Amino acid sequence: MMHGNSTLARLRTSVTSAAFSSALLAMTSLVYAQPVHSGGDHVEAGPGGFADLAEKAGPAVIGVSATVAAADDDDSPGHSLGPDGSDQDMPGQVVPGPDRRGGGNMPKPTETSIGSGFFISADGYAVTNNHLLAGSDTADVRTNDNKVYKAKVLGKDSVSDLALLKVDGRTDFSYVKLADQSPRAGDWVLAAGNSFGLGNTFNAGIVSARARDLETGPSEDFVQIDARINRGDSGGPSFNVQGEVIGVNSMIVSPSGGSVGVAFAVPADTVKTVVPQLKEKGAVTRGWMGAQVQSVTPDVAESLGANNRRGAVVVGVQSGGPAAKAGLKRGDVITSVNDEPIKSANELTKKVYAAAPGSSVKLAMVRDNAPNSLNVTVGKLAQSQAPVGLPK
């Protein structure tokens, strides 16, 4: 978990008139990215510019807005606390609705969530972030020629923070392709989105890390991007130099609520796995074990009286769940799943999610400093059981 002043921020922007003015003022203080130079003799040259790529990919990038239930007031726009108490925020935007302030028998307050997305087919299928849509079944989509379309929300997945939209009535939308090859650290990237609700905006940077495990709730590994990704950019694509989508922008590191140039995107490989299920059945099927786990850190290993141990320690077992029925106990240290070693709680969670409901998984573990093992019949993860470490 990340605590302290460095906070993970979702990119859904909050815009009242005052906040919007603040956002515009903040934009005037942004510093343009400078070229990256290297003294190495064998470094592949970067692009001479991104104008051609922006022109080619721009028409597929959309602004997304939806009416959602209002969040509780807090100290900064679009700001919320994660269930673990950590301070988190989003690169999207929230505009208070007309019944934001009321009392008595007034309707439940609403607000307009503003973010980004992109078309993945000519007939109007589009990807965005789940946290932008909250409980909404529809969204408004604005294309780069300033036309607005009504979109259906076909499916949402809180674990990956992905959602699938469908705009009917046209079969000639510009669209982009998901990358087949994972990016490498150091690759150029062009992030696109609806910054501050202003319309299509592009920011260049690099992939600074792959498979970043944030341990904030979801088990997904993120692509870390060093680029000025701002509020309003949630759900927007990050492109490689070939114009393929390598990730869906989801979070930023935000000590003060603004962008400091460090962002996280859901990898294209995850999008390829999740979107077909959202299209087919509106949700993603995952395995469920009914246990809370955390990674074995040096401090945890010391408290358990173990040295150089890796894996996931069980910190809680849900009564009546698959793990409890199999005999898993608090304090057990799980070291492998189906004879495949795991290094962290994140790896364990991903393997359980990937297991088919009703299947059996073998857990090797250490209990009371002695090797042990058991088989768990995996259940089906319900939406209410899905982690929500990344807030709406």
Domain match, 249 and 342 both: no
Q: Is residue 269 domain-resident? A: yes
The average pLDDT across 125-133 equals 94
Model confidence over 202-249: pLDDT tens digits?
999 999 877 766 655 454 678 998 888 888 899 999 999 999 999 999
- Give the catalytic positions in this structure: 131, 161, 234
Boundary (domain end) residue, out of 257, 280, 303: 280
Pair (246, 302) in one structural domain: no
97 vs 261, residue with greater confidence: 261
Considering the domain architecture, whether residues 365 and 259 belong to the same structural domain is answered as: no
**Do 181 and 258 have their domain in common?**
yes
Q: What is the pTM of this model?
A: 0.74
* 219 falls within a domain: yes
260 belongs to a structural domain: yes
Q: State residue 280's pLDDT score.
A: 95
Do 227 and 294 belong together in one domain? no
Instruction: Verify that 73 and 205 share a domain, yes or no.
Output: yes
List pLDDT tens digits, range 42-77. Answer: 344 566 789 999 999 999 999 999 988 776 543 332
For the record, the structure tokens of 254 come out as 């935000």
Q: What is the DSSP string of 302-359?
A: HHTT-SS--SEEEEEE-TTSHHHHHT--TT-EEEEETTEE--SHHHHHHHHHHSPTT-
Confidence of residue 106 (pLDDT cuts 50, 70, 90): low
The total number of structural domains in the chain stands at 2
Please tell me the predicted confidence (pLDDT) of residue 86: 32
The reply to whether 138 and 194 lie within a common domain is yes
* Shared-domain flag, residues 343 and 269: no
Residue 392 lies in a domain: no
Q: How many CB atoms lie within 10 A of CB 100?
A: 14
User: Same domain for 275 and 293?
Assistant: no
**38 belongs to a structural domain:** no
Of the residues 280, 297, 315, the one at which a domain ends? 280
Residue 143 located in a structural domain: yes
CATH for 334: 2.30.42.10
For residue 145, is pLDDT > 60? yes
The enclosing domain of 4 has a CATH number of 2.40.10.120
**Residue 291 is part of which domain span?**
287-382
- The pLDDT of residue 3 is 36
Q: Would 10 be classed as within a structural domain?
A: yes
Lowest mean per-residue pLDDT among 73-87, 226-240, 306-320, 340-354:
73-87
Q: Among 280, 308, 328, which residue terminates a domain? A: 280
Does residue 39 belong to any structural domain of this protein?
Answer: no
- Examine the domain organization and report whether 273 and 227 are in the same domain: yes
Residues 101 and 196 in one domain: yes
Q: Identify the sign of the CA torsion 61, 87, 284, 153.
A: negative
**Between these two residues, 196 and 107, which has the higher pLDDT value?**
196
Q: What's the distance, CA 146 to chain centroid?
A: 27
As a whole number of angstroms, the distance between CA 248 and CA 268 comes to: 7
188 shares a domain with 107: yes
- CA-based end-to-end distance of the chain: 18
